[in-house]
Amino acid sequence: MKVSVEADKCVAAGQCVLLAPEVFDQREDDGVVVLLDETPAAEQHDTVREAAMVCPAAAILLAES
């Protein structure tokens, strides 16, 4: 799995950070998503998929390998 984010779409809801804090973070000044790990470990894939599904701005993109 490869993860990417579209920061310009992000509405700073923070759901991704709550679900997968080892993969996502937020900028302190405006709360916009920061991608920490673009190729998360296999055991994190389900959580990352859930984070992408609940993102209200659809700012998380996944490419399955």
List strand residue ranges (DSSP E) for 1-65, in order: 2-5, 24-26, 33-35, 60-63
pLDDT tens, position by position, 4-23: 999 999 999 999 999 999 99
pLDDT tens, position by position, 34-51: 999 999 999 999 999 999
Q: Is the pLDDT of residue 59 over 90?
A: yes
Q: Is the pLDDT of residue 65 over 90?
A: no
Angle at 14 between CA 29 and CA 4, to 5 degrees: 90
**Predicted local confidence at residue 55, as pLDDT:** 98
Quick count: other Cβ atoms within 10 Å of Cβ 53?
A: 12
26: tokens are: 């937020």
